[in-house]
Amino acid sequence: MPSCRHCGQELIPGKEIEGGFCCAGCRAAFSLIEGLGLDQYYQRRSLDPTQRALVPEDDEAQSLDFSVHAKSYQKDEQVLYLMVEGLHCAACVWLIENVLARKEGVTHARLNMTTRRLELRWKTGLADPNELIHAVAQLGYRLVPYDPKALGDAVSAHERMLLKCMAVAGFAAGNVMLFSVSIWAGNADTMGWATRTFLHWLSALIVLPAVAYSGRPFFTSALEALRVGRTNMDVPISLGVLLATGMSLWETIRAGEHAYFDAAISLLFFLLIGRYLDSRARGRARGAASHLIALGARAVTVLLPDGSRKLLPPGQVPAKSIVLAAPGERIGIDGCVIEGVSDLDASLISGETLPVPAKPGTLVFAGMLNLSAALRLEVTATGEATLLAEIVRLMETAEQGRARYAAIADRVARWYAPVVHLAALLTFLFWTMWVGLAWQPSLMIAVSVLIITCPCALALAVPVVQVVASGRLMRRGILLKSATALERLALADHVLFDKTGTLTLGRADLMPGDWTDKDLAVAVGLAAASRHPLARALARARPDILPEAHVSEMAGLGLECQGVRLGRRAWCGVSDDLADGVGPELWLARPGRAAVRFSFEDAPRLDAETTVSDLKNKNYILELLSGDRKAAVESLARRVGIKNWRSLCLPADKVARLEELKAAGKHPLMVGDGLNDAPALAAAFVSMSPSTAVDVSQTAADVVFQGDRLAPVAETLAVARSASRLVKQNFALALLYNLVTVPLAMSGHVTPLIAAVAMSSSSLVVILNALRLGRRT
* Strand, coil or helix: 381: strand
E strand or H helix at 473, and its extent?
Answer: helix 463-475
Yes or no: say if 81 and 145 are a contact pair by the CB < 8 Å rule: yes
Q: What residue type is 645 in one-letter code?
A: W
Given the residues 278, 334, 498, 602, the one annotated as active site: 498
Instruction: Tell me the backbone φ, ψ of residue 621, rounded to 5 degrees.
Output: -95, 125
Q: Is 677 a catalytic residue?
A: no
For 632, residues 6+ apart whose C-beta sits below 8 A from its C-beta are: 499, 582, 583, 626, 647
- Per-residue burial over 701-727, b = 16 or more CB atoms within 10 Å of its CB, e = otherwise: bbbbbbbebbbbbbbbbebbbbbbebb
Tell me the DSSP string of 179-244: HHHHHHHHHHTT--HHHHHHHHHHHHHHHHHHHHHHTHHHHHHHHHHHHTT---THHHHHHHHHHH
Distance CA 421, CA 401 (A): 30
Q: What is d(CA 403, CA 406) in angstroms, rounded to the nearest whole number?
A: 5
Q: Are 18 and 36 in contact (CB under 8 A)?
A: no
CA distances to 533, 544, 548 from 519, rounded to whole Å, are 19, 15, 14
Q: Where do runs of H (alpha helix) occur along 692-751?
A: 711-746
Q: Which helix (H) or strand (E) holds 509?
A: strand 504-510
What is the rounded distance in angstroms from the CA atom of residue 227 to the CA atom of residue 362? 56
DSSP 408-423: HHHHHHHTHHHHHHHH
What type of residue is 355?
A: P
Q: Which residues lie across from 3 on neighbouring strands?
A: 10
DSSP conformation letters of 540-570: HT-TTSPPPTT-EEETTTEEEETTEEEE-TT
Q: At what angle do helices 608-617 and 711-746 cross, to 10 degrees?
A: 40
* Type and span of the H or E element at 397: helix 387-400
Query: Measured between alpha carbons, how far is residue 154 from residues 148, 342, 454 in Å?
Result: 10, 37, 26
Buried b (16+ CB within 10 A) or exposed e, 259-298: bbbbbbbbbbbbbbbbbbbbeebbeebbbbbbbbbebbbb
- Write out the H or E segment, with its range, that includes residue 310: strand 309-312
Question: Could you list the active site residues?
Answer: 498
